[in-house]
Amino acid sequence: MAEEHSFNDNVMAYLLSLANVLEIDVFSAMAAKMQKNRKKYPAEKFNGTWEKSKV
């Protein structure tokens, strides 16, 4: 179990380092992605379902 956390931690550290080198604001990128998903998958239509949007 400890090895799995170590691997995940290493992957996360690498991705954050890569984002830093590429000058990507991870917080802003995630916020923009979540906003896009809110528009594509409104909760009142997709809450509790695995159905994909046909947009």
Q: Any residues with CB less than 8 A from the CB of 19 and at least 6 apart, and which?
A: 26, 29
> What pLDDT is stored for residue 10 in this prediction?
93
Tell me the helix, strand and coil percentages in the chain, rounded to 5.
70, 0, 30
Structural domain spans, the chain: 2-45
> What pLDDT is stored for residue 26 in this prediction?
96
pLDDT along the chain (55 residues), means of 10: 77 96 97 94 82 68
Compute the residue count for the chain.
55
> What pLDDT is stored for residue 51 in this prediction?
72
> What pLDDT is stored for residue 1 in this prediction?
55
> What pLDDT is stored for residue 47 in this prediction?
80
> What pLDDT is stored for residue 2 in this prediction?
58
